[in-house]
């Protein structure tokens, strides 16, 4: 079973109460870290984001923010850094994300690619 199939299956099961087993949730937790370019699914200041069980990592040109369950956030800024570095996604991963926001298909984001790394250049 491919990673994309596992992710789709896990997400589908998670929406149905009582059907997500501990083994299924463990498979989800073991998926590799995957970054995606912000195409409208997050605040416009965010260039890339990664989501996992219990966290969201948001990358902008001036900071990285790790949001944890319970409204806990840790922000990292590089003091004296370039305020407009280039962020590059590296190492494409299999699978994509779809965001069906609201009932207006013009706002939907589909086929958002995943990457293993994001590099800050000229920081």
115 and 55 share a domain? yes
57 and 11 share a domain? no
4 and 55 share a domain? no
79 and 116 share a domain? yes
- Residues 95, 81: Cα–Cα separation, whole Å: 33
25 and 66 share a domain? no
DSSP one-letter code for 4: H
- Residues 76, 92: Cα–Cα separation, whole Å: 25
pLDDT in tens, 35-90: 999 998 899 999 999 998 889 999 999 999 999 988 899 999 988 888 889 999 99
38 and 21 share a domain? no
- Residues 72, 94: Cα–Cα separation, whole Å: 30
Residues 10-49 as b or e (16 or more Cβ within 10 Å = b): beebeeeeeebeeeeeebbeebeebbbbbeebbeeebbbb
107 and 61 share a domain? yes
| 17 pLDDT above the threshold of 70 | no
Number of domains in the chain: 2
8 and 39 share a domain? no
- Domain extent for 15: 1-31
pTM of the model: 0.73
| 95 pLDDT above the threshold of 60 | yes
SS3 105: helix
2 and 49 share a domain? no
- Residues 85, 21: Cα–Cα separation, whole Å: 43
- Residues 26, 29: Cα–Cα separation, whole Å: 5
19 and 40 share a domain? no
The whole-number pLDDT of residue 28 equals 61
Beta carbons of 65 and 75 less than 8 angstroms apart = yes
Percent of the chain whose pLDDT exceeds 90: 50
63 and 90 share a domain? yes
23 and 46 share a domain? no
Q: What is the mean pLDDT of residues 14-24?
A: 56
């Amino acid at each position: 079973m491919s990673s994309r199939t596992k992710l789709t299956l896990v997400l589908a099961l998670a929406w149905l109460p009582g059907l997500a087993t501990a083994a299924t949730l463990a498979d989800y937790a073991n998926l590799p870290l995957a970054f995606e370019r912000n195409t409208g699914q997050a605040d416009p200041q965010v260039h890339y984001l990664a989501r996992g069980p219990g966290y969201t990592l948001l990358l902008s040109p001036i900071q990285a923010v790790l949001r944890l369950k319970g409204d806990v956030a840790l922000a990292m800024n590089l003091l004296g850094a370039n305020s407009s570095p280039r962020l590059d996604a590296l190492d494409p991963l299999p699978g994509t994300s779809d965001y069906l926001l609201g009932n207006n298909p013009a706002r939907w984001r589909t086929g958002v690619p995943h990457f293993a790394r994001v590099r800050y250049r000229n920081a």
